[in-house]
Structures are given as C-alpha cells and as structure tokens.
Amino acid sequence: MRPLDLSAWSKLSLVQQFALAGGVVMLVSAGVGGSVVSNRIEEVVVRNTANATALYMESFIAPLTQDLARRTDMTEASRLKIGELLADTALGKRVVSFKIWRPGGLVVDASNLETVGKRFPPTENLKKAWSGEVRADFNDTKDEEDEAEHALGIPLLEIYSPIREIKSGKVIAVAEFYEVATQLKQDLIRARAMGWLTVAGAMALIAVAMFAVVLRGSRTIDRQLSALKDMAARNLALRLRVQGAAARFASVNDQALRRIGADLHDGPAQLMGFAALRLDALQGQVSGQVSGRAAEDLASVQRAVKDSILEIRSIARGLSLPDIEQKSLEDILRGVTEAHAARTGTAVALHCQAVSGLPAAVKICCYRFVQEGLNNAWHHAEGQGQEVRVSLRGDLLEVQVLDRGTGFAQLPVNFLREDAGLGLAGLADRVESLGGHISFANRSDGPGAQLRMTLDLKEAL
C-alpha cells in the first residue's frame, strides 16, 4: 500500500481537493444510502405482501386445523381438504408448497409428504411465528426443510403465518407457505432501481450545489492569495530597499567615523602634542623664575594638555576600524576584547566559533556590537565576569556579551529608549539594517546581564 502523498495533495487547488474528497464521500454515502433504502423497500414490500397472503390463507386454513387445539396431529380428513384446496385452484397456482408446524419443529402436514412427521431445528422466523408474528423471507430456501422448494429454481416468498384457535385466540400451529414471487421479484428490482436513482440523483444535486459554492469560494481565495503574493513581493522589495539603504548608511557612517578618528589623530592630537612640547620647553626656561601660584597653574595646564592628548587618541582609536577585509571575525573580536581589557584593566573571555565568508558589513556590525556591549558591561557591572560568545547554528549567527554584575531587579520595558544613550539605539539600527535583532535580559545561569544579537546570514549576505 503506497503512503499518502501529502505534498501532492497540498499542491491541489481547493476545488480539486473538494472534488476528490467530496467525490469519495458522496460515492460512499450514495452506496450506503442506496443500500439502506433498497433494503428498506424490500423489507416493507415483502412484509406487506406476506401479511396480505397470510390473512388470505388463514381464512382458508385456520378452520381446517382447529382440531390441533385438542390433538398433536391432524386428522386425515383435514389433510385431504387442505390438499384439495391447494390442488388445481387459483390459490394452488400461487402457493406451490406448504407445511403445518407443531411445537418443537414437528411437521404434521405438508405438500411434500416425505417431510410429514419429521422434526427440524426451528428457524428464527418459525420461533417468532409461534409468538404471533407473521414472518416472511424472499427467495431464501437454504434451510434443511427447504430442499424440495429450493430444487424448483424459481423465486419464492416464504411466509410463516400463526394459526389461532378461533375461541381462545391461542396459537395452535404455524402454517408455512411458499408463494411464487416472480412478479414480486420484478417489482423489487424496479423499486430498488428507483431507490438507487433517487439517492444518486439527490447526492448528485447536493454535490453540484456544494461544488458551485466551493468553486466560488476557491476563486475568491485564489484572487486574494494572488493579491497577497503581489503585496508580499512588493513588501519584500521595499524591505530589501530599506535594508540596503540602512546598510549603505551604516557603511557611510563608518567611513565618516573613520575620517573623524583620522582627523582627530592627525589634527587636534598633533596640535595638542605641539602645545605640550612648547609647555615643557617653557617650563624649562622659566624654571626658578616663577614660583607659588604661577608654577602650580603652569603644571595644571601641562597635565590638562597631556590628558587631552590621551583622551583624543582614545576617541580616535574607538572611532577607527581595524582591517576588516583581511581579518577573520575571531581576530577582529579578539582585537576588540584585548583593546577593551588594556583600556579598562579588566579581563574579557572570548569564545568564538570559526565563521568564514562573512561580508564586511556583518564583520563591522559584530565589531561595533561587541565594542558597545563591553563598554556597557564595564559601566554597569564594573567589568565583572565580562565574556563574549559567538556561535553559528545553520544560517543564524548569534553574538552575546555577558557580565557577572548584579543584573537588573526589573528589566526596562524598552532598553533602546532615547535616554539610554545613542550607542545602543544606533547599534540596534545597524543590526536591524542587516535583518538582525537585539535583545537584552538577565542571565539565567546566575547573576549578571546579557546582550544578545541574532543575525540571519541569508538576509545579510
């Protein structure tokens, strides 16, 4: 047996699915309904015919069998009268055989004299006839006592009619008649055909009506699906354009930051360095000539200039990017963590799965994410338990920055709100421009917080 091909079924239209499934249901329903109606028609026709024949026969047979109320067998005179009644008469032409039954399956009279005096196992119809019911079977002569009737080879209606004592109404015997049912057979064939045609016609009308409704609904759904596909295609094209524009903006922004960092390093940092040198020379020239408040002010200016130089160079390094194109993601992130550790004096653990073939935009995004995440961990968790994890599951790249600080008693509803600073908000825009997502939560394995970035590389590549 072949397994059901669900993929082929799902490819069919709604109308085709209804035609197949509904057709099977309609055929089964028509078969069951036609069979029930046909059997019911046969049952009713056979019962009515049997009742009419039994009533007719009882009017002749009952008066001739009243002696069975007083004795176990029939008198010879009664048997002769019944034989004369069914011989060479119109009734005899209809009734080809008969039996008179006594309790226990004893045949006390029959058209086939070989069965008289014999006992046969009582059939279900014979038992019910003894309870006062008129029973009948159409063309069913397979019982042991029906051998002679079966040999005739013609359709017969087997009727069991209870015989009652006229005075008391007690059932004293059962008369079994075999009526020629050639015409009944033809009537049943016509009745069955009419029943089957009626059921089939009704099912066909129902199927046509339902098919029309489903066809109309299917066409409406097809039009709506077509419109939704067109809208989805337009939305996808628009999303890709927006995502591309955001990515280009992020790239331009990185280039601008790099220029700003270079300008700070080559401009103000150099000028401040020159000022520091001149201040050192000036201090040597005036050494011993100034004292007190003037010497302290000069020393303060020297310290401020040198601190400014360090701050400018730190800012310039933060704005500048490493050699993204030539380095792997692991090397880039190792540089970020080492720079952060050198600047803050805290340790950072890096666990990075080997990932290759990433575009520059993705590498820059990961660089900025880890850089901003470590800055936040240093500010909010004082650099405790800083850790960076990078994993790749299929096409989903996941980068996490974790710490072992106190975490948050209540997580902010929107940690990217404007008053959280420009760093995270700008970082979220960068990640979302590549089709990614940023989430923030407390750690599940103990105290601390985690900043997570997930990026679908299929959309980013």
Identify the three-state secondary structure at position 358: coil
Using 50, 70 and 90 to split pLDDT, how confident is the model at 398?
A: very high
C-alpha–C-alpha distance, residues 157 and 40, integer Å:
17
C-alpha–C-alpha distance, residues 451 and 438, integer Å:
7
Torsion of CA 120, 121, 126, 131, to 10 degrees: 120
Question: Cα 206–207–209 angle (5° rounding)?
Answer: 65
Least confident of 75-79, 192-196, 304-308, 312-316: 312-316
The alpha carbon of residue 68 and the mean position of all alpha carbons in its chain are separated, in whole angstroms, by: 73
Identity of the amino acid at 416: L
User: Is residue 244 within 8 Å of residue 251, measured between CB atoms?
Assistant: no
In sequence order, the 6+-apart residues with CB closer than 8 A to the CB of 428 are 416, 438
Tell me the average pLDDT across 415-423.
Answer: 49
- Location of structure tokens 């601008």: 256
Q: What is the predicted pLDDT for the residue at 265?
A: 57
Least confident of 32-46, 301-315, 446-460: 301-315
Q: Is 3.30.450.20 the CATH classification of the domain at 11-190?
A: yes
Identity of the amino acid at 199: V
Q: What is the pLDDT of residues 138-189, one digit of tens each?
A: 877 777 777 777 777 788 888 888 888 888 888 888 888 888 877 777 877 8
Using 50, 70 and 90 to split pLDDT, how confident is the model at 60?
A: confident
Q: And the tokens for 89? A: 């008469």
- Asked if residue 389 has pLDDT above 90, the reply is yes
Q: What ranges do the domains of the chain cover?
A: 11-190, 324-461
Q: How far is CA 249 from CA 44, 242, 320, 364, in A?
A: 87, 10, 17, 13
Indicate the length of the chain as a whole number.
461
Q: What is the predicted pLDDT for the residue at 422?
A: 44
Mean pLDDT of the chain: 78
Tell me the average pLDDT across 33-57.
Answer: 76
Q: What is the predicted pLDDT for the residue at 91?
A: 64
Between these two residues, 372 and 267, which has the higher pLDDT value?
Answer: 372
Identity of the amino acid at 63: P
User: Is residue 447 within 8 Å of residue 405, measured between CB atoms?
Assistant: yes
Between these two residues, 234 and 422, which has the higher pLDDT value?
Answer: 234
Q: And the tokens for 391? A: 């994993």
Between these two residues, 255 and 300, which has the higher pLDDT value?
Answer: 300
Between these two residues, 139 and 364, which has the higher pLDDT value?
Answer: 364
C-alpha–C-alpha distance, residues 328 and 90, integer Å:
112
3-state helix, strand, coil in the chain (%, to 5): 60, 15, 25
- Asked if residue 365 has pLDDT above 80, the reply is yes
C-alpha–C-alpha distance, residues 430 and 362, integer Å:
10
Using 50, 70 and 90 to split pLDDT, how confident is the model at 420?
A: very low
Question: Number of helices (H) and strands (E), helices first, in the chain?
Answer: 13, 10
In sequence order, the 6+-apart residues with CB closer than 8 A to the CB of 65 are 74, 78, 82, 100, 163, 172, 173, 175
Q: What is the pLDDT of residues 120-137, one digit of tens each?
A: 988 888 888 888 888 888
Q: What phi-psi label fits residue 132: left (phi over 0), alpha (psi between -120 and 50 degrees) or beta?
A: left
Q: What is the pLDDT of residues 271-317, one digit of tens each?
A: 776 677 777 777 666 665 656 677 677 777 777 777 777 667 666 66
- Asked if residue 411 has pLDDT above 70, the reply is no
User: Is residue 50 within 8 Å of residue 134, measured between CB atoms?
Assistant: yes
Q: What is the predicted pLDDT for the residue at 4?
A: 52
Top-confidence range, 12-16, 316-320, 353-357? 353-357
Give the pTM.
0.43
Tell me the average pLDDT across 211-223.
Answer: 83
- Asked if residue 98 has pLDDT above 80, the reply is yes
Between these two residues, 439 and 266, which has the higher pLDDT value?
Answer: 439
Q: Is 3.30.565.10 the CATH classification of the domain at 324-461?
A: yes
The alpha carbon of residue 437 and the mean position of all alpha carbons in its chain are separated, in whole angstroms, by: 29
- Asked if residue 379 has pLDDT above 60, the reply is yes
